[in-house]
Amino acid sequence: MKIFVPVKRVLDANVAVRVRPDGSGVDLANLKMSMNPFDEIAVEEAIRLKEAGKAETITAVSIGPTQAVDTLRSALAMGADAAILVRADGPVEPLAVARILKALVERDQPDLIIMGKQAIDGDSGQVAQMLSALVGWPQATYASKVEIEGTAVRVTREVDGGLETIEMDLPAVISTDLRLNTPRYASLPNVMKAKKKPLEEIDAASLGVALEPTLKIASTLPPPARKSGSKVETVAQLVDKLKNEARVI
């Protein structure tokens, strides 16, 4: 079985986000970029399936600028076998990402796609569902457990109010939730080995997918600031403030 794992290069989760004062976007210059945390979970799950003898090859795919090669090398160092960089310089909307992935799916015929449930920059949470719809495969979003049984995959999903288990016939699309696994760190020897693994580069334009955004971002502004609060010394003071000042109890 062949697994595709789409990964995205995003602002590192621990970096404080700075919005440009002119409302033109978030400042990314000279800041640490990393693999989207949900995608790390997806790579880890694919590797575990391979280690369990359920998969033969894992291909990591990223769409973005040349620097996204670093993100792909991270996936290779974790244990992916090959990588594809689809070069695109401007922002690429989830729908265009799904269309690009569809073109690669039709070319390379993977049996399973595992990807993060959302990217922590755009917080859109759309690509897995869009790709699934475009290629006509079943989907399992928000996976917290994945089991392959022959040509079927059983997925436990984190849904509002609890957990749901569903089954799909391959090929299928899975999006990962936080509790699916704990991603491994790449060891130094594996980082070195990753440099020799195959990495194909394609121009997004060559896949015939329109990249012009269909949602126009008119402005990006900081959220309204909360008025600064105060510290209280005792529980009695807290109760008094909540009753008489905030009037919430």
Which residues between 218 and 247 bind another protein (CB under 8 A)?
218-223, 226-227, 229-236, 238-239, 241-242, 246
Q: How far is the CB of 234 from another protein (least distance, A)?
A: 8
d(CA 235, CA 249): 14
Among 26, 31, 52, 205, the residue binding another protein under the rule CB under 8 A is 26
Residue type, 211: L
**Upper half-sphere CA count for residue 175 (Cβ side, 13 Å):** 19
**Upper half-sphere CA count for residue 242 (Cβ side, 13 Å):** 9
Q: Which is nearer to another protein, 79 or 116 (CB)?
A: 116
Among 21, 53, 150, 162, the residue binding another protein under the rule CB under 8 A is 162
Residues 100-139, one symbol each (x = binds another protein by CB under 8 A, - = not), give -----------------xx-xxxxxxxxxxxxxxx-xxxx
Q: Which residue has the tokens 């005792």?
A: 234
Tokens of 191: 């980082």
Contact region with another protein (CB under 8 A), list: 10-18, 50-58, 73-81, 193-201: 10-18
Question: Binding of another protein at residue 196 (CB under 8 A)?
Answer: no
d(CA 121, CA 123): 6
Question: Binding of another protein at residue 208 (CB under 8 A)?
Answer: no
C-alpha of 93 from chain center: 13
Contact region with another protein (CB under 8 A), list: 45-53, 74-82, 88-96, 195-203: 88-96
Q: Bridge-partner residues for 139, per DSSP? A: 173
d(CA 129, CA 110): 17
208-231 b/e (C-beta count within 10 Å ≥ 16 → b): ebebeeeeeeeeeeeeeeeeeeee
Among 51, 89, 169, 200, the residue binding another protein under the rule CB under 8 A is 169
Q: Which is nearer to another protein, 5 or 168 (CB)?
A: 168
The SS3 assignment for 235 reads helix
Question: Binding of another protein at residue 74 (CB under 8 A)?
Answer: no
Among 12, 87, 164, 197, the residue binding another protein under the rule CB under 8 A is 164
Question: Binding of another protein at residue 248 (CB under 8 A)?
Answer: yes
Q: How far is the CB of 210 from another protein (least distance, A)?
A: 10
